[in-house]
Amino acid sequence: AQKVTQAQTEISVVEKEDVTLDCVYETRDTTYYLFWYKQPPSGELVFLIRRNSFDEQNEISGRYSWNFQKSTSSFNFTITASQVVDSAVYFCALPPPGSGNTGKLIFGQGTTLQVKP
Amino acid sequence: DTAVSQTPKYLVTQMGNDKSIKCEQNLGHDTMYWYKQDSKKFLKIMFSYNNKELIINETVPNRFSPKSPDKAHLNLHINSLELGDSAVYFCASSQDGNSPLHFGNGTRLTVT
């Protein structure tokens, strides 16, 4: 079964701390995409990254970095030197097997990150 | 310019009423979606349309009827609203099924 687990329901850090949000997934597909989305307090859903399972190189974008490890089925997200504006709910997602080109995504439960000043 | 816009932003209505949510995207995408986010923030797909054709109907009650007059629009009509329909409904679009979803700002539906 397709499953995305974000075991951390809520994380609270103080500004400038580094924080890692965990994502563990299950899939029977051999190739697949993984996604992270951000939902700030204003409510919109913002795309952060898409990772192809072929590519296990870590991705860095400014203060954000992603560690994809196919061997452990994990796609973790690290924010370096967190800021108050990083406070949001973060979702990990992947397509269910056999979904083809439908665009259907299975979302994790989300991790609420609170960054305190 | 707003890429994916949905209206209204808030919708408060009584049980039994019928309501519609409209969605439009100006990204030229072929695929559009409706997702539902419940009170626990859980996101789940409801429908997916590709170029006006229904691709996914995720065991949603028949009271929910999507309509896509053209590939830039995907509306959601809900009949006989129930308390359990209260949620945030997100419209989204993507270039294809493997591309990132671009979400609208959501419609918070409250059924009283």
Which amino acid type is present at position A13? V
Task: Give residue-wise pLDDT tens across range A15-51.
Answer: 999 999 999 999 888 888 999 999 999 999 999 999 9
Q: Find the range with the poorest average confidence among A4-18, A80-94, B91-105.
A: B91-105
Percent of chain A residues topping a pLDDT of 90: 76
Is the pLDDT at B103 greater than 70? The verdict is yes
Contact between residue A76 and residue A18 where contact means Cβ atoms under 8 Å apart: no
* Confidence band for B1, pLDDT divided at 50, 70 and 90: low
- What tokens appear for A53 in the block? 């399972």
From chain B, which residues contact A within 8 Å (Cβ)? Answer: 31, 33, 40-45, 48, 50, 55-56, 58, 88, 90, 92, 94, 96-106, 108
For the segment B69-76, the average pLDDT, to the nearest whole number, is 95
State yes or no: cis peptide before B8, omega within 30 of 0. Answer: yes
Contact A45 B88 (CB under 8 A): no
Amino acid B69: pLDDT? 93
Amino acid B68: pLDDT? 95
Of the candidates A93, A63, A68, A89, the residue with the CA atom closest to the CA atom of residue A78: A63
Is the pLDDT at A2 greater than 80? The verdict is no
- Contact list in B for residue A103 (CB cut-off 8 A) is 31, 33, 48, 55, 94, 96-99, 101
Amino acid A17: pLDDT? 98
What is the least distance, in Å, from the CA of B84 to any CA of chain A? 19
Per DSSP, B40 falls in state T
Closest residue of B to A5, CA-based?
A: B42
Amino acid A1: pLDDT? 58
Q: Does A41 touch chain B (CB under 8 A)?
A: no
Is the pLDDT at A81 greater than 90? The verdict is yes
* Confidence band for A96, pLDDT divided at 50, 70 and 90: confident
For the segment B91-103, the average pLDDT, to the nearest whole number, is 92
* Confidence band for B90, pLDDT divided at 50, 70 and 90: very high
In 3-state terms chain A splits into helix, strand, coil percentages (rounded to 5) of 5, 50, 45
Contact A45 B103 (CB under 8 A): yes
Q: Does A43 touch chain B (CB under 8 A)?
A: yes
Is the pLDDT at B112 greater than 80? The verdict is yes
What is the least distance, in Å, from the CA of A109 to any CA of chain B? 6
Percent of chain A residues topping a pLDDT of 70: 97
